Amino acid sequence: MLHSVCKRYLKAEMEIEDALAEAFVLIFTKMNTLKDAEALFGWAKRVAVNQCLQQLRKKVNFNLSLDDIKHEPVFEQSTTQQLEHKDLLKLLDYLPDGCRSIFNLFAIEGYSHKEIAVLLQISEGTSKSQVNVARVKLQKLVKQHYDLKNEENGIAK
pLDDT, one tens digit per residue, over 63-87 is 654 444 444 433 344 444 455 667 7
Quote the CA–CA distance of 53 and 94 in Å, as a whole number: 18
CB environment 89-110: b (16+ within 10 A), e (fewer):
eebbeebebbbbbbbbbbeebe
**How many Å apart are CA 100 and CA 111, to the nearest integer?**
14
Mean pLDDT of 120-133: 92
Of the given ranges (2-11, 67-76, 88-97), which has the lowest mean pLDDT? 67-76
Q: What is the pLDDT of residue 87?
A: 73
The answer to pTM > 0.75 is: no
Contact 34, 40 (CB under 8 A): yes
Tally of domains within the chain: 2
* Whether pLDDT at 11 is above 50: yes
Same-domain pairing of 45 and 71: no
Assign residue 110 the CATH number of its domain: 1.10.10.10
How many Å from the N-terminal Cα to the C-terminal Cα in the chain? 39
Say if CB 121 and CB 56 are below 8 A apart: no
- Burial of 26: CB neighbours in 10 Å, binned 0-12, 13-18, 19+: middle
Q: Which of 19-23, 52-56, 95-99 has the highest mean pLDDT?
A: 19-23
Do 16 and 76 share a domain, yes or no? no
Q: What percent of the chain has pLDDT over 70?
A: 76
Same structural domain, 99 and 125: yes
Asked if the model's pLDDT at residue 93 lies above 90, the reply is no
Helix H or strand E segment including 127: helix 124-152
Query: Residue 30's domain spans which residues?
Result: 1-59
Among residues 17, 37, 59, the one where a domain terminates is 59
Q: Which of 15, 44, 59 is the last residue of a domain?
A: 59
